[in-house]
Amino acid sequence: MSKQQDFYSHLAQELQGIRDAGLYKGERIIATPQGAHIRTVAPDGTTRDVLNLCANNYLGLSSHPDVVAAAHEALRTHGYGLSSVRFICGTQDLHKTLEARLSRFLGTEDTILYAAAFDANGGLFEPLLGEQDAVISDELNHASIIDGIRLCKAKRYRYKHNDMADLERCLQQAASDGARFTLVFTDGVFSMDGTIARLDTMRALCDTYGALLGIDECHASGFVGATGRGTHEYRGVFGKIDIITGTLGKALGGASGGFTSARREVVELLRQRSRPYLFSNTVAPSIVGASIAVLDLLEGSTALRDKLADNTAWFRGAIRAAGFDIKDGEHPIVPIMVHDAVAAQKLAARLLELGIYVVGFFFPVVPKGQARIRVQISAVHERADLEQAVAAFTQAGRELGLLKAEGGRA
Ligand SMILES: *Cc1c(COP(=O)(O)O)cnc(C)c1O
């Protein structure tokens, strides 16, 4: 009994420790569908209408009428759920259609759906690699990649973020350690900085050392590259990536679900051995039907990704002209560097008062001294929204003394 009580006291202490360290993550309640403008509800019930700059809703598809209609239609024709994993009685025609459509969109042979990209990454490495093999990973890879690699027996190597010389060092080391097969795995786009992996260089290096190359396209599929196929398109290596994982929960609709897309043999083996696939329920028909509609939209027109690119270029220019320090790049993830953690929190709080919803990130999510506001631009933002955001940033930044040369437009 007292040991049981001790357990709960122990948890309470852990929680207090998280609060004391200033790392406690609260959750803001939203009372509307996801979109450019949302309504938040405070614990005391007061509501606030805000401009949303922190969703992964890059193409604005989370509440797009065609996507919602396709979800309704699949719900009507294919029911609410399958009550089964895929290999027992959980595969509908819709699932096979979506897998084929994703393969075509991404330039691969076959695709396997998962409940989430976290599961796709979690169930990727263990079935494919054994203890004679090597997996080489960027130090800033997503948590789900790190966990997936932990579950496999391959020897692990880690290179400095986006550092091609250090990647080559790892490739040489794996070769001299006698690796049978070597897989290099990276985020296509890194979520904290919007950095776009150098896949052209990586492909060449992997070819030199006979290594396979895999990428996680969660922050890229649907909008990075001239037709939105992803980082491989952007870097000129479309059709030349061995394994692509991704999510249906960001640009490609925003509900949930993930996938791994690769050569036929890879996908076939994953269907046999990947544990999150074998032992977790099939993706709901409404999500699958809506995801097919998303691919119809994106293959039919680049208007949404083009608008997103225009919005991003405009916002990056305007926020820099206002005197903010941002990380260079082209991605709709725009890290507005505040450096100091307390200042980042103050800026986010003041912006909320001004009707702009953004989130501050600080250590340990990003390195010490690199606290920031991460803005995420969407195709659903209108120019007036972005102007409102820049005006509010400018006002709050001035109040808090965060702007470089006041009015400087260098
Ligand atoms: C969001 C994200 C995931 C997880 O995606 P879910 O489908 O929500 O599980 C995995 N990898 C990266 C790089 C991500 O950004």
Active site residue 404: no
Burial class (CB in 10 A: 0-12, 13-18, 19+), 166: middle
**Residue 406 clears pLDDT 70, i.e. is over it:** no
Contact by Cβ (8 Å): 312, 251: no
Average pLDDT taken over every residue of the chain:
96
- With bands split at pLDDT 50, 70 and 90, how would you rate the model's confidence at 408? very low
Distance between Cα 299 and ligand 1 center (Å): 23
DSSP 3-state assignment of 338?
A: strand
Q: Which of 218, 277, 331, 333 to mutate to test the pocket of ligand 1 (most atoms within 8 A of CB)?
A: 218
pLDDT mean over 382-404: 97
Question: Could you give phi then psi for residue 93, rounded to 5 degrees?
Answer: -50, -35
CA neighbours closer than 13 Å in the CB half-sphere of residue 251:
27
Distance CA 346, CA 402 (A): 11
Give the residue whose CA is nearest to atom 15 of ligand 1.
Answer: 218
Read off the pTM: 0.96
**Per-residue model confidence as pLDDT tens digits over 146-167:** 999 999 999 999 999 999 999 9
Active site residue 191: yes
Within 10 angstroms of residue 171's Cβ, the number of other Cβ atoms is 23
pLDDT mean over 345-357: 96
Predicted pLDDT at 26: 87
Instruction: Give Cβ neighbours of residue 92 (< 8 Å, ≥ 6 apart).
Output: 78, 82, 285, 288
String of DSSP letters for 163-212: -HHHHHHHHHHHHHTT-SSEEEEEESB-TTT-PBP-HHHHHHHHHHHT-E
> Residue 107 — left, alpha, or beta (φ > 0 → left; ψ -120 to 50 → alpha)?
left
Q: In what order do the strands lie in the sheet with 325-326?
A: 325-326, 333-339, 371-376, 359-361
Q: Is 221 in the pocket of ligand 1 (CB under 6 A)?
A: no
> Residue 296 — left, alpha, or beta (φ > 0 → left; ψ -120 to 50 → alpha)?
alpha
DSSP 3-state assignment of 386?
A: helix
Query: How many percent of the chain have pLDDT more than 90?
Result: 94
**Per-residue model confidence as pLDDT tens digits over 263-287:** 999 999 999 999 999 999 999 999 9
Distance between Cα 245 and ligand 1 center (Å): 9
Tokens of 116: 């989430």
Active site residue 64: no
Predicted pLDDT at 151: 98
Distance CA 30, CA 17 (A): 28
Closest by alpha carbon to 102, among 94, 343, 168, 187?
Answer: 94
Distance CA 251, CA 336 (A): 22
pLDDT mean over 382-387: 98
- With bands split at pLDDT 50, 70 and 90, how would you rate the model's confidence at 410? very low
**Per-residue model confidence as pLDDT tens digits over 181-220:** 999 999 999 999 999 999 999 999 999 999 999 999 999 9
Distance between Cα 119 and ligand 1 center (Å): 9
Question: Could you give phi then psi for residue 117, rounded to 5 degrees?
Answer: -65, -30
Closest by alpha carbon to 275, among 185, 98, 148?
Answer: 148
Predicted pLDDT at 170: 98
Distance between Cα 260 and ligand 1 center (Å): 12
Neighbour-count burial for 278-305, b at 16+ CB within 10 Å, e otherwise: bebebbbbbbbbbbbbbbebbeeebebb
Predicted pLDDT at 364: 86
Predicted pLDDT at 407: 47
DSSP 3-state assignment of 9?
A: helix
**Residue 295 clears pLDDT 80, i.e. is over it:** yes
> Using the 8-state DSSP alphabet, how is residue 27 labeled?
-
Q: In what order do the strands lie in the sheet with 356-357?
A: 29-30, 37-41, 47-52, 356-357
**Per-residue model confidence as pLDDT tens digits over 12-33:** 999 999 999 888 888 999 999 9
Catalytic residue selected from 103, 137, 144, 191: 191
Distance between Cα 218 and ligand 1 center (Å): 6
Give the residue whose CA is nearest to atom 2 of ligand 1.
Answer: 218
Helices 303-321, 285-300: inter-axial angle, 10-degree rounding = 80
Q: Is 223 in the pocket of ligand 1 (CB under 6 A)?
A: no
